[in-house]
Chains A and B, each alone.
Chain A
Amino acid sequence: MNAVSSKYSRKDTGWRLFLKTIIARAYPRIIGQQREVSWLLFEVVMPMLAVCSYVFVYRALKAPEEYIGFVVMGGAMTAFWMNVLWSMSSQLYWEKETGNLALYIMAPNSMMAILLGMALGGMVATAMRAVAVTVFGTLMFAVEFEVTSYLQLFAVFMLAMIALYGLGMMMASAFLLFGREAWHMANLAQEPIFLASGFYFPIKSLPFWVAAGASIIPLTLGMDAMRQLVFPSGFRLGFLDVRTEIIILAILSVVFVAVAKFLLAYVEKLAVREGRITESRR
């Protein structure tokens, strides 16, 4: 009996291989990352430090208490944006740097499955950190929540995550073509997105077209809808009504995931043709 025909050796193809690839790629993010306790600590402490800073700024300004809640929520959601930037968008670039990308492409599985696995794993792992930030922030600053509809809240959150990680998959494909500028591009996409997407304040405060343009980032409308559903005064400060935002998020989810698939295929072909799969342009 050899390895190929032995009891535990089975060649999966089709949807089984697709699913196994997703699970295999998600595994390091869900399980492996939790093994490094210091990472858990840093990835909760870092957003909490930002939350504390902005909370104290609002306290210095004697802002209404719901703004403290906005900051706590925004701090939790920054974990997702940072995960999309650094663990999705930049991931294929880093895989290229460490030499794994060529192996991914040579392996008999779908790159889309690999990206989906990254997305799923990142979403789950980051959700744990976001919950920790929310809990700590709520306890430290006595934030009060008043959820008006759990169903809508769940729908908003899930659609925002699907759309966000679809965007992350698109960006991962684009970053594949970058060299050293990938790190700087990801670095550049932090503060401007925090500003335009209203992580720490209602986006209704921004000019309409700025807020509308920022709505292409799923977290913009996601957070706006969640504020309306979770804080008593949220409806006064909402950009659009919750139902409209849910519909837009659903459209973004479909569009981003579909575009990610086509973009990945195109960029992979381009990278292979131009020899960028193993290139390291440091």
Chain B
Amino acid sequence: MQTSTSWRSFRMAAWLGWLIESNWTDPFLFAVYSIVKPLSGAAILVVMYGIITQGNFDSALFPYIYLGNAFYIYVGAVMTGVSWAVVDDREHYKTLKYMYIAPIYIPVYLLGRGAARFITGSIAVIITILTGVLFLKVPLQVSEIDWLLFSVTLLVGIVMLAMLGLLLAGVTLTTARHEGFIGEATAAALYIFSGAVFPLDVLPNWLRPIGFFMPTTYWLELLRRSLVGNVAQAFPTLSNFSNMQILGVLLGLSLFFGIVSLQVFKVCDRIARERGMIDRTTNY
């Protein structure tokens, strides 16, 4: 039975991506790497919080910060993972041109490469949240989780991040010396404007509209609400919006950015092909 080109592209890219992400070392060191890195990032915020609040982990702000930071791991992993596949294949393995002439769909291939980063990101997210629940009194009760809202939100968010990654991948195709920075800079900027670790109200007034235009703001808010319910709704930023309203905004913005991403990738792909950038190596 002949599988569709899209599914084949995605499946093989995901498998290839997983091999690249995981086979650089033995399983023990890989496990250490997967655990230490995200926990250290979370621990910085935990220590900062602990110093200022004198260890008051019962405040509503703590789960806000902790869960926001935990799920933000997906932003770096998925979004940067899709765009980084261009750098990896073009510069390091020098196989991008072969991917272009193979019977696969390049955008789907790149999304598949991001799938592996989704898996490694999920490991990091789960470990971070488990640590928070077990050792830091994050008030997450399994019986009170809105699983439907959580599942839908997570799925929409991952697709949204993957499409943003595709946009960055398109830009990366046409750049030579800054491609390593593009994904990281975007993730770092979204960290400020998404309300990941502080409410948007902390930002100066003139910067807040940027945050309200980012789909990640609503994504993180919904994830918090689905996991810790009333605690997340205690902050005024989006407290006037119901879950369904926020979900609607998230879907709308995700659709908008998804369409923009596809168009940008299409244009950048054409430019890269016209200028012979697909098989160009720059040693950067």
Interface residues of A (CB under 8 A from B): 36, 38-39, 42, 45-46, 49-50, 52-54, 56-63, 67, 98, 179-181, 184, 187-188, 190-192, 194-195, 199-202, 205-206, 282
Contact = CB atoms under 8 A, between A and B. Distances in A.
A181 B283 contact: no
A201 B177 contact: no
Contacts of A181: 24-25, 29
B66 to A, nearest CB: 12
A56 B192 contact: yes
B95 to A, nearest CB: 11
B177 A57 contact: no
Contacts of A45: 185
Interface stretch (B7-15, B130-138, B194-202): B194-202
B31 interface: no
B92 A191 contact: no
A57 B198 contact: yes
Interface stretch (B40-48, B157-165, B214-222, B225-233): B40-48
Nearest to B50: A205
Contact of B188 (A50, A188, A202): A50
A188 B37 contact: yes
Contacts of B177: 36, 38-39
B256 interface: no
Given A57-B197, A192-B37, A62 B52 contact: yes
Contacts of B44: 191, 194-195, 199-201
B40 A53 contact: no
Nearest to B29: A181
B105 interface: no
Interface string B13-39: 000000000001100010001001100
B202 A56 contact: yes
B184 interface: yes
Contacts of A184: 24-25, 33
A205 B47 CA distance: 8
Given A39-B177, A181-B25, A191-B44, A53 B61 contact: no
A61 B52 contact: yes
B203 interface: yes
Q: Identify whether the interface residues of A are mostly helix, strand, loop, or mixed.
A: helix
B108 interface: no
A180 B37 CA distance: 18
A199 to B, nearest CB: 8
A200 B43 contact: no
B178 interface: yes
Interface string B108-149: 000000000000000000000000000000000000000000
Contacts of A38: 177-178
B49 interface: yes
A158 to B, nearest CB: 27
B48 A200 contact: yes
A201 B44 CA distance: 9
B236 to A, nearest CB: 13
The 10 closest A-B pairs by CB, nearest first: A191-B40, A60-B198, A49-B188, A192-B40, A61-B52, A42-B181, A191-B41, A63-B52, A180-B24, A60-B202
Given A49-B191, A187-B37, A61 B178 contact: no
Contacts of A58: 48, 52
B100 to A, nearest CB: 20
B244 interface: no
B101 interface: no
Interface in B33-79: 33, 36-37, 40-41, 43-45, 47-53, 61, 65
Contacts of A61: 48-49, 52-53, 61
B53 A282 contact: no
A60 B61 contact: yes
B48 A201 contact: yes
Interface string B243-284: 000000000000000000000000000000000000000010
B178 A201 contact: no
A58 to B, nearest CB: 7
A208 to B, nearest CB: 15
Nearest to A48: B188
Contacts of B24: 179-181, 184
15 contacts: A36-B177, A49-B191, A52-B192, A53-B197, A56-B203, A57-B45, A57-B48, A57-B198, A59-B198, A60-B199, A184-B25, A191-B40, A192-B36, A195-B44, A200-B48
B93 interface: yes
